[in-house]
Structure 1
């Protein structure tokens, strides 16, 4: 077992201890994710920082202990009882991979879990709950900016290029960098240089739907 794989194994074991479970599928069920994601944490030595923060907030366990094994894995009841839900806004995290076909990408039945963001942060950033949705990144086309498995917060009120956006082409949801060209066409590119950019000409603009701007990311630490 490599050092990175060992790191993932240790973090998963500490999660199981906090949750009082013994199997990977039970960890996955708690977080509302697929069991394969937990397997990948172990295999790749991924640090599931988003889930560690979730456990910190929900169970009051030390982040240092979860990630590094430093200190004790005791529950800080004062921390848990001190968290006021009114200080946070919940944003739905969607399992968009389940949305094949022509339906909406953001249906209630596709919500896998919720992310909490502090209200004061959202106010500073000018974000509004009604405009927000979160999805996970799949694939390597945006490597350098977004990694496979990252979580992205989408602001659906922002649809004017330029920048990184969630877009819909046909029945597929993609995350790409968009640039409006002088002739009215739209350049659709990946940050991974292995992928060639596309150009959508003005007469074909109906083929693409800009879902919203990718505003925030959360993911593993390399």
Structure 2
């Protein structure tokens, strides 16, 4: 079924912008949709099909982590905006802090935020890069970071931190001598650092993943 609230040219421009922003590959996206590898190239270059099918639009919006309305879907009702940062919280070697920049905000259900105990004003969405937190977090996952929760207590948890000038996502535990910085992937080494060396940005409260 084809349905959109924006004209075909604007929909193509919106998709092109998302692809450019996130460095996506047209063939891989076409495969994600279950289409032939040239499907999205034909859509963008030749205008065939004229509009994205609703199912394709929905899947692409989930993949890019944006509201469907950005690709011509209906505007969500009763949603709240959560800031999205144009930086990957590295689950690998680390992401440079100076690459942070705000992008168009994500939309979240107020009910979901209440269930998670997260205030929209204290939340940020960041995309994970790297595999050091696999299988808990995979490359490309979107994570919701609660900036109100910056203390490591009890059994610890998964946090976005700045360490050695880099932004990264790691599991933190209180340890003798400081904070234990843990990678869930056993191929990566853990380490203990002084508590003062770690700036905790916030705790990971939710993750989103394309399937």
TM-score class normalised by the smaller sequence: 0.5 to 0.7
Q: How does 1:206-217 map to 2 (within 5 A)?
A: 206-217=196-207
Larger relative helix fraction? 1
Q: How does 1:31-70 map to 2 (within 5 A)?
A: 33-34=21-22, 36-39=23-26, 41-42=28-29, 45=32, 48=60, 49-51=62-64, 54-55=67-68, 59-60=72-73
Deviation at 1:219, TM superposition (A): 1.5
Unaligned runs of 5+ in 1: 1-13, 61-79
Name segments (4+ residues, structure 1) moved above 4 Å: 43-48
Q: 1:170 aligns with which of 153, 159, 164?
A: 164
Is the counterpart of residue 118 in structure 1 residue 109 in structure 2?
yes
Structure 2 length-normalised TM: 0.67
Residues 101-137 of structure 1 deviation map (CA, whole Å, 9 limit, x = unaligned): 6x695xxxx1122111111222233211221111110
RMSD value over aligned CA atoms?
Answer: 3.6
Structure 1 length-normalised TM: 0.64
Deviation at 1:96, TM superposition (A): 2.3
Larger relative strand fraction? 2
Unaligned runs of 5+ in 2: 34-58, 89-94
Structure 2 residue aligned with 1:139: 130
- SS of residue paired to 1:121: helix
Matched positions, count = 174
- SS of residue paired to 2:21: coil
Residues 70-108 of structure 1 deviation map (CA, whole Å, 9 limit, x = unaligned): xxxxxxxxxx37x43xx11101110125x846x695xxx
